[in-house]
Structure formats: C-alpha cells, structure tokens
Amino acid sequence: MLTKTPQLKKALEDLKSSSGDMLSKGRTLKKSLVESTLGTKLEKHARLELVLDKYIELLQNQLIPALEEVIQPAPEQEPENCGGKRRGLPRYRRRLSMYYSLPGQRTKPRHAYSRDIGAMGLFVMSNRLEKVGQTLQVEVEVPDVGKIKMQAVVVWTKWVPPPLRSVEYTGFGVRLTYAPQTWYEFFLAVEEEEHAGSSRG
C-alpha cells in the first residue's frame, strides 16, 4: 500500500485538479467542434471527435477515479472483533506474540502481535503491510501451549497514519491455510472462556 507523505499527497491532488481542468477543456473543445460542423459529416471532424471522445472517457472513467482512490482510498472492511463475526466465524481479541516470514525468505522472521484471532484467521498488527495474496509461514506463541506453526495467506490490509497509531492499529488480516490440531484446541478454549465470561456478566 502506498505511504503518502504530505508532499506526495499534494502532488497527487494537483494532478487530479489538472486532470479535471483537462477534462473540462476536452468537453469544451468537443462542443465547439460539434457546433462548427453544423451537422456536416466532414471526415477530419469525425476523426477528431472520436479522438476527443476517447480522451474524455480516459480522463473521466479511468484517470480521475484512480487518482481519487489513491488520494482517499475507500475504507478497508475489517472483521468485527470480541465475539463479532466475519463470514460466520467468531473473532476474539487476543494479543499473542508471533513471527512470520515469506516462503523462501532468508532473512530473520518478522516479529509482530495478533490483535484478534479466529479458528480460520487472525489480524496481524504490523507497520509493514504484506501484499494481499501473499502466503506466509506463521509461528504463534500460545500461553501454556508453546509455539504453533501455521501457514496463511494475506486477505486484506489496513493502513493507519502514524499520528493515529496510538488509538488504532496498522496491519493485515490473514486466512489460515494450514493449522495443527493444537491451534483449534486453543481456540476452543478461548471460545469457552469468552462464553463463560458472557454468562457471568
């Protein structure tokens, strides 16, 4: 995901503004061209009108929407937590120390923490965002159990500006593609603990 500095954001906004100006000028030029033909079918005018149509379509339907998405991306859909559900599966907040690496990576695995966990996935709190679709080797340290090694794939990411990271987390959600029985046993214990707490409350 693109990290936008104030200078880069301003440059993108200036580009969007100039693209809007070009779109306006293209429409004005086409209008003048159509009015100048007075209904005639001049071949040169027809070719120019076709070029202008393509130009306007490119600006209006591709370039400007793409710039808007980069400048102000649509908010990521993140899973509900603390007993909330995503795709029908519960998630519970659990901060677990973990390490993850890319297949074939020769460098030291990256350390991170989970924010929430589910039977089939978890959210990784990390200032480094991995690409959606990237496969990962994950090792989670579980209290009273030890290290659990799993495989996962990144399914969504969430970037938070640095000034807001004291109240919200940057990171990415992963779906587990392989987990041993010990992971599911641990998750069932967490679920029972949550349900016991709810009934006591």
pLDDT, tens digit (0-9, with 9 covering 90-100), for 180-200: 999 999 999 999 988 887 766
Residue 85 carries which side chain, given as an amino acid letter? Answer: K
- Give the number of other CB atoms < 10 A from CB of residue 117: 24
Q: pLDDT band at 6, cuts 50/70/90?
A: low
pLDDT, position 157: 93
Place of tokens 């599911």: 184
- pLDDT(173) > 80: yes
| Residue of 146 and 17 predicted with greater confidence | 146
- Average pLDDT of the residues in 29-48: 68
CA distances from 154 to 69, 81, 115, 171 (A): 21, 18, 15, 10
pLDDT at 172: 95
pLDDT digits (tens, 9 = 90+) for 120-157: 999 999 988 999 999 999 999 998 899 999 999 999 99
Q: What is the pLDDT of residue 76?
A: 44
Does 159 score more than 90 pLDDT?
no
pLDDT at residue 79, rounded to an integer: 43
Mean pLDDT of the chain: 79
Annotate the chain with three-state secondary structure. Answer: CCCCCHHHHHHHHHHHHHHHHHHHHHHHHHHHHHHHHCCCCCHHHHHHHHHHHHHHHHHHHHHHHHHHHHHCCCCCCCCCCCCCEECCEEEEECCCEEEEECCCCCCCCEEEEEEEEECCEEEEECCCCCCCCCEEEEEEEECCCEEEEEEEEEEEEECCCHHHCCCCCCEEEEEEEECCHHHHHHHHHHHHHHHHHHHHC
Per CATH, domain 85-200 is 3.30.1360.170: no
Per the model's pLDDT, the better-predicted residue between 64 and 40 turns out to be 64
User: Which pLDDT score is estimated for 156?
Assistant: 93
Q: What is the percent of the chain where pLDDT is above 70?
A: 72
Give the tens place of pLDDT for each residue, 77-130: 444 433 334 455 788 999 999 999 998 888 899 999 999 999 999 999 998 899
